[in-house]
Chain A
Amino acid sequence: MLGAATKRKAVGENQGTMSDSPAVSATSTGPVTAAGRPAKTIETRGVNLFYGDFQAVEDVTMTVEPNRVTALIGSSGCGKTTFLRSLNRMHELTPGASVKGEIKLDGEDVYAPGVDPVAVRRLIGMVFQQPNPFPTMSIYDNVAAGLNLNTKKVTKTQKDAVVERSLRGAHLWDEVKDRLDRPGGGLSGGQQQRLCIARAIAVEPEVLLMDEPCSALDPVATLAIEDLIGELKGRYTIVIVTHNMQQAARASDLTAFFNIESTGRPGHLVEVGPTEEIFTKPGQQETEDYVSGRFG
């Protein structure tokens, strides 16, 4: 993935340009994670998402670039959260929900028969809008929670190391190192969200999905999380859904704009490109109108 182009694409331009063979081998000398493996690229082709018969998202083809922050923006109901949740097989947890099309993590189809969705969700972690640490579990146990899914036995020493690394990675260690046994629910909103990030990175994912991670936070905590995201992209690929245009402009490298023609129609991808271009000279009038606030 080294040198992958970040050309702006209008819908339709990128169709049919992907070959059938995997985009890159696992041993390429591309960007690496903390675990030393190549950080992952997500490629979607013709993704259509349904809730029963209702089509929520139509025909999304785009690449999520490795070690970059990609922001998904668009008005309410345009399908960006539904699309986000399809990337790590959370969409199917809703009864009746279904996925058509292709979603590949570094060339491997995440929906292939025989693929364990739990394994997918370990590699593609998620942080939600409302911070959701396990409230009665200690801070320590919150971070270590994901390790318990691993069948391999982990020693206390190894666990301690993972917890510290993760809390440091989430910029929370200094604030909680003397009270790791206290409940996770006792922290401030911003701290709770960072705890959730620590929990997600403890299992060494390749990709982090964040669904409006700062919506419930005050401005100071929001900027702290944005700084953290800027640092985390060095180790992970990050996708963030946000309603906050200025946050997308500040915190992301690439921006994908979703829109919906009218209520009842499926959402679709209008344009994706480098953030500085989307916010200074977008290619589509629809994008221009949205980012300029001509319509909500």
Chain B
Amino acid sequence: MPEVARAEYLEELANLEASALGGLDLVSAALTRTLEAVEFQDVEMAQLVVADDDRIDGRYLEVHQALITLLATQSPVATDLRLISSLLHVLKNVERMGDQCVNVCKLIPISGNEPPADEEMVGLILSMGRHTKSLIAQAKRAFEERDVEMAQDLVRQDDVVDNLNRDCFRLALELGDDADKREWAMTMLLAARAIERTADNAVDIGEQVAFVVTGLFREFEDASHPEG
């Protein structure tokens, strides 16, 4: 067998893939802290998440630049090119997921220090968060292992998150005439929406797995064609 040429370039590409996917670990950690902030209405924890988003943004910028450099200097083609293209997408997803955690955390001080929290609503949001963490872990693994079936399965899990989001909406409508409670519920709806968007980003990463492996890009679920 001929010796593998371009070893340095291949090593660099592998390192950049690991860095990009490592961004998902940062997101997962941010999400964990976000959920904690929601559960305990912890303003300090929320502020920590917001400040720490710089790390996620930094990861995006660093890996993005290195990928552009590879494109310019190494003329990647075929699978290498598809991989680089998909990593650029993944980075964007990671950055957005980080921003969604920030969006949730920014809502917590709004709800005040002792908000009229509804236990059921908080429970729904925490459940959404746990499912989303599972989605993120699965998306990461699917990409690492180039497992298209595992990637496609993300849709099923995302449906659970979508249903929980709808449950949040229904619950918010039922939360009665108390103005403070209604205000809190609407704030929590925004939080739920941000988590739902985070889950969608994980599905997008799954679509990139399929692209790397097959060379075809297809949305697993197209919002404009819900019938499939």
Contact = CB atoms under 8 A, between A and B. Distances in A.
A288 B6 contact: no
Contacts of B82: 280-281
Interface in A231-259: 245-246, 249
Contacts of B173: none
Give me the 10 closest cross-chain CB pairs, A-B, nearest first.
A281-B215, A295-B2, A279-B77, A288-B78, A291-B77, A293-B6, A292-B78, A292-B80, A293-B5, A282-B78
Nearest to B214: A281
A279 B75 CA distance: 11
Given A293-B5, A294-B4, A295-B5, A280 B81 contact: yes
Contacts of B78: 279-282, 288, 291-292
Contacts of A296: 2, 5
Contact of A249 (B2, B4, B77): B77
Contacts of A291: 77-78
20 contacts: A245-B75, A279-B81, A280-B77, A280-B78, A281-B82, A281-B215, A282-B78, A291-B77, A291-B78, A292-B76, A292-B77, A292-B78, A292-B79, A292-B80, A293-B6, A294-B2, A294-B5, A294-B6, A295-B2, A296-B5
Interface of A: 245-246, 249, 279-282, 288, 291-296
Given A293-B6, A295-B5, 15 more contacts: A245-B75, A245-B77, A246-B75, A249-B77, A279-B78, A280-B81, A280-B82, A280-B215, A281-B78, A281-B82, A282-B78, A288-B78, A292-B80, A294-B2, A295-B4
A282 B78 CA distance: 7
A294 B3 CA distance: 8
A246 B6 CA distance: 16
Contacts of A246: 75
Contacts of B6: 292-294
A294 B77 CA distance: 11
Nearest to B80: A292
A296 B3 CA distance: 10
A295 B4 CA distance: 6
Contacts of A294: 2, 4-6
Contacts of B75: 245-246
B123 to A, nearest CB: 46
Contacts of B4: 294-295
A293 B77 CA distance: 9
A292 B76 CA distance: 7
Contacts of B215: 280-281
